[in-house]
Amino acid sequence: MTSPPIALTIAASDPSGGAGIQADLKAFSANGAYGTAVLTALTAQNTLGVTGIHAIPPAFVIEQLDTLFADVPVDAVKIGMLADAGIAAAVAEALERHRPRYVVLDPVMVSTSGHRLLEADAVTVLRDRLLPLADLITPNLPEAGDLLGTAAAKNRAEAIEQAHALLTTGARRVLLKGGHHTHDAESVDILVDATHATGTGAAGVRELSAPRVNTRNTHGTGCTLSAAIAALRPQHDDWHTTVSAAKAYLTGALRAADTLHIGRGHGPVHHFHQYWS
């Protein structure tokens, strides 16, 4: 590992600064990693929603990745919005060659405002080619259902069942985010690790709970959590410790979100809540 660790985000741009590469770079810095970025798409968006997406040509996505890896020793990769099947395949092709040590995949499919961010044909590429390259995938409940071609889990038992089902697609570990269960007082994420099997051969299951924060300013929570995990993994001994630390960071960022007053819609979390007064 370099000092500080170097983290790479492969994702789209968010002009409002709350999600995408902007959020990832903030989360990298806040968690002690040097941030690098490869763009997959430009978006026109603000806190009220997404109005347009301009995808980067897949060949240029590969050129960005090859040029970066030829010079910079990347310790961890976070994959976010990929937009279409061509870009998803390009990222998979590059990572198959470069094989970074840690890969965190956040399967970004739909924005907070409901805008579709991943074309339907790209889901197959993401599932078949990128999931097997990922050390950890971090879907929320609707995204897990989308990946499996079924409805989102409605309770803990269904969530654990879907997390196990995602392991059969080739993912080594699944962090199934429970934030969409908004009626619960606690926000409970489920970490299922195929490498920590029980005596019966079943994958190990751990629940990570934090008090639910009452705020509308949740733009970029998924991006921020997965980026924090990528930044922290080279600094911790295992995935459970890493995810726990990243979840604690995100909880603090959510608690401080209302102090920012950015935009008129779903504002961003406070990425630098530990440092700004």
Catalytic residue, candidates 17, 18, 86, 220:
220
Look up 177 and say whether it is catalytic.
yes
- Cis omega before residue 4 (within 30°)? yes
Give the H or E element holding residue 27. helix 20-30
Both structure tokens of 143: 């995204």
Angle between the N-to-C axes of helices 20-30 and 221-232, in degrees from 0 to 180, rounded to the nearest 10: 40
| Among 135, 150, 132, 80, residue whose Cα is nearest residue 109 | 80
CB atoms within 10 A of CB 199: 5
Look up 221 and say whether it is catalytic.
yes
Catalytic residue, candidates 222, 242, 252, 267:
222
Strand locations in 139-263 (E): 173-176, 186-193, 204-211
Catalytic residue, candidates 43, 221, 242, 251:
221
Look up 36 and say whether it is catalytic.
no
Angle between the N-to-C axes of helices 85-98 and 58-69, in degrees from 0 to 180, rounded to the nearest 10: 20
Catalytic residue, candidates 20, 47, 80, 177:
177
Catalytic residue, candidates 218, 224, 242, 251:
218
How do beta strands 102-105 and 76-79 pair?
parallel
Q: Do 166 and 137 contact (CB within 8 A), yes or no?
A: yes
Q: Do 170 and 132 contact (CB within 8 A), yes or no?
A: yes
| Among 170, 272, 220, residue whose Cα is nearest residue 9 | 220
Catalytic residue, candidates 35, 178, 223, 252:
223
Active-site positions?
177, 218, 220-223
